[in-house]
Amino acid sequence: MIAPTQSAAYVLGKKLDSIPFSAYHLLLIVVLGTVGFVEGYDLALGGSLIVLAKGPLGLTGEDIRWLVAGPTFLVVIGGFTASALSDRLSRKFIMQIGVIVSTLFTLMIPLAQSAEQLIVLRLITGIGMGFAIPAAFPIAAELMPAQHRRTYGAIYEVMLASAFTVLPFVAFLLTDNPQGFRLIALPGGLALGVVPLLVHYAIPESPRWFLRRGQPQAAVNAVNLMIRRCGDRVPAMTVGQLGPNLSLGREELPPFMALFRDGQLRWTVVGILCSVSASSAYYTCAILLPKALVDQGGAVALSFGLASVLFMASIPGKLFTGYLMEIIGRRWTMTYSLAGSLPGIALMASAHWMGGLAPVVFIAGALITGFTVLAAFPCTRVYLSEQFPTALRGRGHFFGESTARLLAGVLFPLFMERHTASPVVFFGTLLCVVGIGAFLPLLIGRETVGHLETVTEGARAAA
């Protein structure tokens, strides 16, 4: 029998959480992770294009600034648009639109004959990425059992980090090729023939989304499909288990402004600020680090090699973060990730004055930075999704990621691009931003490990 205080969404969520982790859950993780790999490759492509296309296409300073900030700004616009649609349209449908747009226009980059054409292609690609990238975590948060969201977060972020590692390595191999900027786009573009099909056939619709739309039978059918695909290790669900007073009509979504109401505003802000702190480090390293190292006197090939080392270190770091976030909680894990990177950033800043030891010092700093702050995202993204109840989760996560990306991926790189030649300003500014963000979760955040439907309700009761 269902307690009166337990909503249908709560019962549905408990049933999903009761399904033992299985090979099907792993398939979902791999498919979403593949989306992450492809979108991560396309997102980080800008940093390599700036260096590889500068000569062949005669990129000016203004062109470079457009390539630094323009695509990410369109990712933000796409994310804001998707945030308004994601709780009305299927999250899966939103992801499919994004993947098709981003891979199609990345595939067209080899055809670019001028800086203007390259910029336009990257801008349109940004819109697609704004739809696809934020969709993965709301989908996974609702389909993964609670105790295995960290498993998803870690594996997804490892695949994302693999893209960031492979990209500068490929750029390193293409350093002396005048058509390098065309060739480097092919891996991301050719995914057009594979990834949309994987999403269509492997990812189910969200049972919670069906329930919110007033389709309880479809929601129960989606849960039972999950149960069958996971080996029928728990009993099937019936509509009657959702409660005797279940409304069969479509439940109205709360307004978008509910993200900023009392009881929710604080958690919306916390999720965004935590994302900004970690994302500032990512965008600085992914988009501007190769250019910064060249401007500070390094060789082009060396700059790509050092960037690859940085992101390679984030792969084991993300696995460790995924493990740690369930042991010491989300807040302490983010504090560890950001504060732990400060010595690494300081070493990268000082390497410029180390003479012959500069590469060794920089590699040491890159390894520390990659293992810590660039490995924070299994925690920050899950933490962001867990700030919102089901009715707001799609819009909340899309809005949160888009706002964080606007601040960390557009405005911050625009400022930093003008100071890439100065290691003090470039790395020193990053050091300050990450240092401030290291203690935000402890000072103004709350722990969110647990059931998705109870987190916000409990926060409101305590407010």
Tell me how far apart the alpha carbons of residues 298 and 51 are, in angstroms, rounded to a whole number. 13
Centre a 10 Å sphere on the Cβ of residue 183 and count the other Cβ atoms it contains. Answer: 16
What Rg, from alpha-carbon coordinates, does the chain have?
Answer: 22
Q: pLDDT at position 49, please?
A: 87
Tell me how far apart the alpha carbons of residues 58 and 54 are, in angstroms, rounded to a whole number. 5
Chain centre distance of CA 99 = 14
Q: pLDDT at position 449, please?
A: 64
pLDDT tens profile 151-209: 777 788 788 778 878 888 888 888 888 888 899 988 888 889 899 999 888 888 888 77
Please choose, from the candidates 34, 184, 42, 186, the residue with its C-alpha nearest in 3D space to the C-alpha of residue 122: 42
| Segment holding 168, helix H or strand E | helix 149-173
Q: pLDDT at position 59, please?
A: 87
Please choose, from the candidates 199, 209, 203, the residue with its C-alpha nearest in 3D space to the C-alpha of residue 99: 199
Cβ contact 393:409 at 8 Å: no
Cβ contact 363:371 at 8 Å: no
Tell me the residue length of the chain: 463
The ranges of the chain with pLDDT < 50 are: 1-5, 247-250, 451-463
- Furthest-apart CA atoms within the chain: distance in Å: 75
Q: What share of the chain is helix, strand, coil (3-state, %, to 5)?
A: 80, 0, 20
Q: pLDDT at position 252, please?
A: 64
Please choose, from the candidates 86, 68, 107, the residue with its C-alpha nearest in 3D space to the C-alpha of residue 193: 107
pLDDT tens profile 197-239: 998 888 888 887 788 777 888 888 888 888 888 888 888 888 8
Q: Which two tokens stand for residue 18?
A: 């009761």
Q: Which CATH number fits domain 8-462: 2.40.430.10, 1.20.1250.20, 2.40.50.140, 3.30.70.920?
A: 1.20.1250.20
Please choose, from the candidates 179, 178, 181, 154, the residue with its C-alpha nearest in 3D space to the C-alpha of residue 167: 181
Domain ranges of the chain: 8-462
Please choose, from the candidates 151, 159, 171, the residue with its C-alpha nearest in 3D space to the C-alpha of residue 195: 159
